[in-house]
Copies of this chain bind each other. A is one copy, B any other.
Amino acid sequence: MTKITDVARHAGVSPSTVSYVLSGKRSISEGTRLRVQESIRLLGYRPHAGARALASNRSNVLALVIPLRTGIHVPVVMQFAVSVVLAARRHDHDVLLLTQEEGEDGLRRVADSALVDALVVMDVELHDARVPMLRSLDRPSVLIGFPADAAGLTCIDLDFTAAGEVCVEHLAGLGHRCVGLVGSPPEVYARETGFAQRTEDGFTAAARRYGVTSTVHPCQPTAEAAREMAARLLREHPNLTAVVVHNEPIVEPLVDAFQRSGLRVPDDLSVVAICPDELAERAALPLTSVTIPAEELGKRAVELLMAKLDGHEVPAATLLPPRLTPRASTARGRNYA
């Protein structure tokens, strides 16, 4: 393994000069810099990560904690994770993958051992046991999702409340007077994952504001549950003319179930999905949707962390505004005068 002293000797400078060329922390003359860089190239030199971490007290690694649970959509997690990795690389960092399973101890472990400089934690619940832990660590972190008490923490997420609202707004604007929300599975609500509740709150509040009748139904993420849900909605809410789905796996099955029940979408029933754009676009019938900006979230989360690592102040809360894209699944309500 070639080391910094080899490079230094080859370039006829001291090791510290090589280090400064690499880090740019002191000015180095053009000539020396080029010579050193050439030596580095020639010898194929790579600084030893461990040595660097030890000397500089920076590992240049971020921890990413991903969830492994029912009710969270795997492609979204993956999209997010990839986005975090790419963003981290742009800032010369790598990403250590942790699973929810590791829990609080895992966070402590990687933080206290200086394996990572900072942490990104996905799928934060309202009363998340990891939150106090994160607060006590001496390393910065960014949470995806908002705990009940976010004091002292940096959080980011899609503004799900606004997402729920914007769906109703869109539908109310089209003249719909009775709308339903098909949400996450009951266990997601049960464990108090904020996003499900917030979407519901936004949805319900906006409905009230617009004088629209609303109804909310958690739903299991299976095609079969979607079919039952469709049947039930039609049975119990004969005036229903629009549905918001916030449950990725059943977006397509639900639309399909409505269609098989003889409803035309959007003529008889409008559907808005809260899901990644790709899913909405690629559906058999392209769906009006509010996107889940996983990529944007990942990128922003990393940027927040980098700012914190650089000692900058960052906003404690970042709520990305929802973006609704009208597609072929929504139209004027049946009873529109």
| B residues in contact with A212, CB < 8 Å | none
Chain B residues positioned under 8 Å from A49 (CB to CB): 50, 53, 59, 113-115
**Binary interface encoding of chain A residues 244-263 relative to chain B, with 1 for a CB under 8 A from any of its CBs, else 0:** 00000000100000000000
Are the C-beta atoms of A222 and B282 separated by less than 8 Å?
A: yes
**Could you say which of A64, A108, A282 has the most chain B C-beta atoms within 10 Å of its C-beta?**
A282
In the complex where A49-B59, A99-B85, A224-B284 touch, is A94 in contact with B78 (Cβ < 8 A)? no
Instruction: Provide the A67-96 mask, 1 if CB < 8 A to any CB of B, else 0.
Output: 010000011011001100110010000111
In the bound assembly, the distance between CA atoms of A78 and B97 in angstroms comes to 12
CB distance from A262 to the nearest CB of B (A): 15
Query: How many residues from A make CB contacts under 8 Å with B?
Result: 47
Contact of A50 among B51, B77, B222 (CB under 8 A): B51
The yes or no answer to A8 lying at the interface (CB within 8 A) is no
A54-B51, A113-B46 known; A78 and B82 CB under 8 Å?
no
Q: Tell me how many chains of this kind the complex includes.
A: 2
Q: Are B97 and A81 in contact (CB under 8 A)?
A: yes
Asked if A232 is an interface residue, CB under 8 A from chain B, the answer is no
A233 within 8 A of B: no
Asked if A149 lies at the interface with its beta carbon under 8 angstroms from chain B, I say no
- Complex alpha-carbon distance, A59 and B98, angstroms: 16
Given that A86-B99, A96-B94, A99-B85 are known contacts, is A50 also in contact with B59, CB under 8 Å in the complex? yes
Q: A48-B54, A85-B98 given. 4 additional CB < 8 A pairs?
A: A48-B113, A96-B96, A96-B97, A223-B283
